[in-house]
Chains A and B, each alone.
Chain A
Amino acid sequence: MKAARSPAGASIRVLGYLCFGLCPLACSRYWVCDEPVETDLARLPARLSETGLFRAEGVEALAAGVRAYRPQFALWSDGADKRRWVLLPVDSRIDTADPDDWSFPVGTKFWKEFTRDGVRVETRLLTRWGTGQGDWTGAAYVWNEDGSDARLTVYGAQDARGTAHDVPAAGECMACHGGSKSVILGFSAIQLAYDAADGGITLGTLGAEELWSDPITEQPRIPGNEAERAALGYLHANCAHCHNQERPSHGGARCFDPDNALDFRLSLAALGSVADTATRKTIGRAVKPGAPGASRLIELMSQRGFLQQMPPLASERVDQDAVELISAFVREL
């Protein structure tokens, strides 16, 4: 953690950077991220049961005000089952002045739980603690063997709880979430624009409960036929957090800030037709229309390995259904 480093350690790091600077690849080492800031992490409790997700008596019943939700297009997590919750501060509203990048009130908390092969492995927390755009802190909590609680795991864990699931380090949260001004990726007008049968929060719920500042009166509809909508949605959920042209600027390491013109983000202002979407306008750089087998996008989705895969983070298993979905989309371009 940054604040824990000694001056001697810092000087050694300078030597390290000097070394990497000699490498011609150094300037484009997008896979390197910064360490998390210790003072930010100090805001997080040591145990999940202390984060406000559950009622005091256990780790199953949700605390008052905590609401479940589900994005209509999910991020691929190597087949893990996921549950998600949000807690908005009492009497607060989401600032939806920018319909694509909502700004959440200070004190908002989002949780996401991962279960792999039947084992509840981790629950991630992202919380906003200040009014600045980057005033968010996130980390993962790894569940105990007996499931009685989960403990803060700042530097993550490999193959956690005997599964093939890797728990990310806190410093990796912003590799994905830092690519959006909103920071939150799965809770947006696009992602909540559906009718939930499970009672989770949707766009309709937000409107009915007046939880937003600027009503989104028309339900966003992804253009195209069913297959096209699914493909555009998948690319939005799995690629757009890095590949978009509205990324907030930041200091430090590049940390998965791509240096290209690809844009897979769905914007409410550009949903008139498939041709209007940023995805359709820029995807030609990564695909050969009509030829998925010759398309770089499909190649990267279909394999795993350092610098050989997309998405580059948090996945060790190919999403075969998605490869077929996007291949079909490319074939029809």
Chain B
Amino acid sequence: MRRLLEGAVVALASLYAGHAAAEPVLSPGDEPRVLELDASVRFAVAHAPFFTEAFPVLDAQGALFTLAARYSLSPKWSLGARLPLAAVSVRQPAGSYLDEAAWANPTLSVTRWFEAAGTARRAQAAWLGVDVGVPLAEHGPAAALLENRALEAANAAEAYLSPESYLPATLPFVLRAGARWQDAPWSAAGELAVPLLVRLGDADLSADAREHRLGLWPRVQVSGALQALRWLRLSLGANTAIAATHVVEPWREVSRVQASLRAGLSFRFSKRLELGVTFLAPVAGALGGEVYSGGLTLEAQR
């Protein structure tokens, strides 16, 4: 049974999807009025810190669905939207699991592109962006916090790279700045994002939870990619998220710095259809060795 499970985990991990949440998918210079849609599912096993005395840690396994859309208004401006759903089995204290699903905060974004002069083979671009979250993430019930725990498992599954999505009763604003360099077949990108999280309520957490009105959770993501074949791209990324200020402190003291590594393969089936397979593993920090996630992203453009 153990071997079967390990095999299944590896198989699921090999299906992992999901570009890092903040990675821009639209290329600068895209034609105006291009709509890009992607749907991803990520399977994860997580053991992560939580916020209350009754539940100081969470153990969960399940899937994270994300629907995202981007629309290119012009070569310089694009709009985006993202909606994650966590469908997770949460471990109860004695060791059984309970299925739970919860919507996360939808986010809307605006991105301004800056493109340097280049060729089809060599190009550089930069961007500035703003994301605003809609505080609709589910939470409760107070005695169980199952929805809170499902979302926090999803937060951990993304190595804390998208806290704006997974913290309930929180209004998030994110400022993003990034740059990309390409000298085919190689390319590299980096982005700094600073989420400011404004606490709007207690999200059903008990009175013993240590909450703050404002949270600040900056992150840096860098990645490199090789277009190995016309239809195949390999990528490797490193990420760091820093909980400068938590909106809710983990019940047990843990590291505020979370590093993670991401490896991916992208298969281009046509000009408008791409399939991504990625694996994300937190290293060190609060989640190192405790969280694994993998899945699949299907991306379509019209």
Contact = CB atoms under 8 A, between A and B. Distances in A.
Interface of A: 1, 4, 9, 12-13, 15-17, 19-20, 23-25, 29, 31-35, 153-160, 166-169, 171-172, 175, 253, 255-256, 306-308, 312-315
A171 B93 contact: no
B93 A158 contact: yes
Contacts, number: 124
B40 to A, nearest CB: 12
B8 interface: yes
A77 to B, nearest CB: 11
Contacts of B146: 155
Interface of B: 1-2, 4-5, 8, 12, 41, 43, 53-57, 59, 62-63, 65, 85, 87-89, 91-103, 138, 141, 143-146
Given A31-B96, A34-B98, A157-B93, 12 more contacts: A12-B102, A13-B99, A16-B88, A29-B89, A157-B55, A169-B96, A171-B92, A172-B96, A175-B94, A307-B5, A313-B96, A314-B94
B8 A24 contact: yes
B87 A157 contact: no
A68 to B, nearest CB: 24
A239 B143 CA distance: 30
A9 B1 CA distance: 33
B97 A32 contact: yes
B92 to A, nearest CB: 4
Contact of A17 (B91, B92, B99, B143): B99
Nearest to A11: B101
B1 A169 contact: no
B193 to A, nearest CB: 28
A313 B87 contact: no
Contact of B96 (A15, A19, A175): A175
B270 to A, nearest CB: 25
A25 B97 contact: no
A314 B94 CA distance: 4
Contacts of A168: 92-94
**Residue of B63, B89, B94, B141 with most partner-chain A CB within 10 A:** B94
A168 B92 CA distance: 7
A155 B96 contact: no
**Residue of B1, B59, B144 with most partner-chain A CB within 10 A:** B144
Contacts of A314: 94-95
Given A20-B87, A307-B5, A154 B144 contact: yes
B56 A158 contact: yes
Contact of B143 (A25, A155, A307): A155
Contacts of B98: 32-35, 169, 171
B92 A155 contact: yes
A156 B99 contact: no
B101 A16 contact: yes
A2 to B, nearest CB: 11
* Interface pairs A-B: 6 shortest CB-CB: A16-B87, A16-B101, A168-B94, A156-B93, A166-B93, A155-B144
21 contacts: A12-B85, A12-B101, A13-B100, A15-B87, A16-B63, A16-B87, A16-B88, A19-B63, A20-B99, A23-B8, A23-B43, A31-B96, A32-B96, A32-B99, A33-B97, A155-B92, A166-B94, A169-B98, A172-B94, A306-B59, A307-B2
Contacts of A256: 96
Contacts of B93: 155-158, 166-169, 172
Contacts of A20: 62-63, 87, 89, 99
Contacts of B94: 156, 166, 168-169, 172, 175, 313-314
Nearest to B94: A168
A15 B85 contact: yes
A32 B89 contact: yes
A323 B145 CA distance: 37
Given A1-B141, A19-B63, A171 B96 contact: yes
Contacts of A306: 59, 91, 95
A302 to B, nearest CB: 13
A24 B55 CA distance: 30
Contacts of B100: 13, 16
Contact of B54 (A13, A19, A157, A171): A157
A189 to B, nearest CB: 27
Nearest to B87: A16
Contacts of B87: 12, 15-16, 19-20
Contacts of A16: 62-63, 87-88, 99-101
A16 B55 CA distance: 23
A15 B101 contact: yes
A158 B5 contact: no
B247 to A, nearest CB: 22
Contacts of A13: 99-101
A308 B6 CA distance: 11
B103 to A, nearest CB: 7
